[in-house]
Amino acid sequence: GTQRRAFNLWGEAAQQASAMADTSLSGAIQVTESVYQALKGRYLFQLRGHHYLEGVGELSTYLLSGRL
């Protein structure tokens, strides 16, 4: 390939990823409710807060704080 490809992503997953990036703390690992639910038996998390995302609603976010 000599041509650079460009892609656009749309939808709820892309909106959530953008919101997570916009609201994250430097050096922290911030996750959504679904990631928290999947990993809460193996890792420690702190509730960071709730963020409203247009078209999606309110998202609960958590910060990874260590392993169990």
Model's pTM, two decimal places? 0.75
Q: How far is C-alpha 65 from the chain's CA centre?
A: 15
The whole-number pLDDT of residue 7 equals: 76
Mean pLDDT of 44-49: 97
Q: What are phi and psi of 13, to 5 degrees?
A: -65, -40
The yes-or-no verdict on residue 62 having pLDDT over 70 is: yes
Condensed to tens digits (0 to 9), the pLDDT of residues 1-29 reads 688 888 777 787 888 888 888 888 999 99
The whole-number pLDDT of residue 5 equals: 82
